[in-house]
Amino acid sequence: MTASVKQMTTLDDLEVVMREWVEQTFFNSPFFEALAAGQYTPIQLRHFAIQYGYYSRHFPRVLGAAISAMAPYPQWWMPLADNLWDEAGRGVPGKSHEELYRTFLLSVDPTVTLDAQGLPPEPMSSVVAQATDFFIDFFRRSTPLEAMAAVGLGSEFFAGEVMGRIGHSLEHMRYQQHHEFDLTFWRVHAETDEPRHYQLCRSILQQFRDPADLGMMLETGQMIAASELAMYTGLHQEMQALVAR
């Protein structure tokens, strides 16, 4: 345990440690470095767009599982229900996250064939399935505080930064030389949705200052985040394999 972790007494302290971990672990990983450098080909970006679509499609199931793990009090489950309502576009036609993502996918490859449910013919990658299954399985055995830390610190705390970097990286001139991508999905998450989602979770997390609780919250956040990072790394490896064929 590092000195900074030992000195944690508030959620603010924990967030500093978590932010440093995300910066060093996430953004120095192969996927984010290659994406930012404009190294992916159109075929590789197509693979990413299709597979992330599956991850996005399954995220409402993650939130539903998290709600089932919450304490039966409105202040615990309502932040996650609010997040889930955002996934549905807050009832506004055409604004669900699935529909927003479809505009991105079709801007990457307008020739993608989607069935009546909006699914492409390519199956979901095992690395995407592993990430979503790991998240959902965690809630089957978690306490309410562990579940809130998983969603809050393991996802929403840095999701805006992750999605912002993906969106910004996709603006690279090498990616835009054929046609312009519709990046609305990434911008909405980065600029509006994710920061607000974390603040809702934070209202609960900040109530816990016991060193044991803070340590557990950090460990949980890093464990869930590491699972998501494994998905990006796995997708990078799959994308590299497409070039090797």
Per-residue model confidence as pLDDT tens digits over 53-107: 999 999 999 999 999 999 999 999 999 999 889 888 888 787 788 888 999 999 9
pLDDT greater than 70 at residue 2: no
**pLDDT tens per residue, range 199-240:** 999 999 999 999 999 999 999 999 999 999 999 999 999 999
Within a domain: residue 22? no
Confidence band for 148, pLDDT divided at 50, 70 and 90:
very high
- Residue 201 is part of which domain span? 43-106+125-244
Within a domain: residue 35? no
pLDDT at 3: 40
Would you state the structure tokens that stand for residue 228, as one six-digit string?
């998501």
Within a domain: residue 26? no
Q: Which residue has the higher pLDDT, 8 or 48?
A: 48
Within a domain: residue 33? no
Total H helices, total E strands in the chain: 13, 0
Are residues 18 and 222 in contact, defined by beta-carbon separation less than 8 angstroms? yes
CATH number of the domain where residue 156 is located: 1.20.910.10
Name the E strands within the chain: none
Confidence band for 142, pLDDT divided at 50, 70 and 90:
very high
Within a domain: residue 135? yes
Within a domain: residue 2? no
Helix, strand, coil tally for the chain in percent (to 5): 75, 0, 25
* CA distance linking residue 228 with residue 32, whole number of Å: 13
Within a domain: residue 186? yes
Domain count, the chain: 1
